[in-house]
Structure 1
């Protein structure tokens, strides 16, 4: 019987009935437990629908090295989005492989690290709106970022790129603990570093963590790769045909216009520390590679 538990009981010599009694009691207790679990799983009251959530956000950042150019590139990879239902995978492997190949093409030219989100699994803000405790929901999202980090690490290593995952939440069997100086040292050795688990604290968005990590490793530029748009527009180009693309923008203007490419805290961190940002479209052959290598594209945001 599927889900049933088997138990081997040795009956002591001269006590044949005792062992049988224990076996019957144990089987009855296990059967009740299994029935209860099945009732919970199958009852319409407990059947939850998981709708496609926001895609994960890859954040690429680069540590300083006088002999190289350095950029920080947050790639908004909504194309990784899939519906997350029981029995389905939350990652589009083809898209992750393509991103890994594009990043691999820059190794040795730019020191790269990635802050990755977990929106294809869980988004804390959305779960909290459904009634879940915000802190717990955010921690679930952080664990989703670790899953995405491991997936991207695997595809990068398939391309022959040494990769390290550093987590803001300690989990030594899975990833290194986040230490900025160690991350910089890895990148100096041409290793790609992936930052998982966000900031390790609730209420911090992936955007804010991306800006923070870029500052901690002294990145020269933040690159934000978006899905569906090729830069910052005066309005949503998917809804407003009159929307015009902006080629240059200041952080103050972005915050005054309430542009939501990144959240206000991320804009503020980059502005206050004079780190430039470039927002570009992820679609297009080699766009991620071209942006990381410094090609002018999308919208440049400066102080």
Structure 2
């Protein structure tokens, strides 16, 4: 019997900073990040090209600091630096499991990361390296979700895989509302109209304008990244009408 082929050839995986904290709630849990690295290696072994964008909420949240009186732009720059710390930790974890990885930062810091250069990023992907995009878009007032959408377009990824703690998109918080209904698939407009917490509106509109599907799935179940890449119907897909 022929080996099943992956559904996607090039993906962008979006991880929240909180995902790296595990049950610590703050900072980086080496065990959790090691597990995620192992799952990414399994996907690389299928011949799929993988780019990553990681949030910074486990270290610093610009929006939260701004709401407490800090200058929003300064707070956002601090948040971007937090994403670079996460990117370096992820790079270390991936290289420990034998996956060659490059970090590209939207804010230049040559001692620790390459500057973001689109063509170079694509070249790395073609060579089977994982590319981690740090420092968001390099601009304040934009979330890492928007950075993920933007980078996914730039590298011609076929899909954004948004890893969360729940197994898809629900009509309400399934942890608080037992009647919450899980959606199998949604259109971008549904997400925007219903105000569903998938990605922020800027990121969602960017995906809608460029017809880039988003799959929201549960990262906490082992092997799920590979399942999504193989096209198994897990999570919720957000796509055009």
Q: Which of these residues, 73, 76, 101, is aligned with residue 16 of structure 2? A: 76
| Count of residue correspondences | 231
Q: Could you list the runs of 5+ residues in structure 2 that have no partner in the other structure? A: 1-7
Map 1:237-252 → 2, pairs under 5 A: 237-252=174-189
**What is the rounded CA distance, in whole Å, between the counterparts of 1:246 and 1:293 in structure 2?**
20
**What is the rounded CA distance, in whole Å, between the counterparts of 1:176 and 1:75 in structure 2?**
20
Distance 1:83 1:299, change over 3 A: closer
**What is the rounded CA distance, in whole Å, between the counterparts of 1:75 and 1:83 in structure 2?**
15
Secondary structure of the residue that 1:106 maps to in structure 2?
A: helix
RMSD of the TM alignment (CA)? 1.5
TM-score when scaled to structure 2?
Answer: 0.92
Map 1:1-303 → 2, pairs under 5 A: 69-76=9-16, 78-81=18-21, 82-84=24-26, 90-108=27-45, 109-227=47-165, 229-303=166-240
Secondary structure of the residue that 2:237 maps to in structure 1?
A: strand
Secondary structure of the residue that 1:120 maps to in structure 2?
A: coil
Q: Could you list the runs of 5+ residues in structure 1 that have no partner in the other structure? A: 1-67, 85-89
**What is the rounded CA distance, in whole Å, between the counterparts of 1:73 and 1:176 in structure 2?**
19
The higher-RCO structure (CA 8 Å, 6+ apart) is 2
Residue 283 of structure 1, CA deviation? 1.8
**What is the rounded CA distance, in whole Å, between the counterparts of 1:165 and 1:298 in structure 2?**
28
Secondary structure of the residue that 2:163 maps to in structure 1?
A: strand
Residue 291 of structure 1, CA deviation? 1.8
Residue 222 of structure 1, CA deviation? 0.9
Distance 1:191 1:183, change over 3 A: same
TM-score when scaled to structure 1?
Answer: 0.73
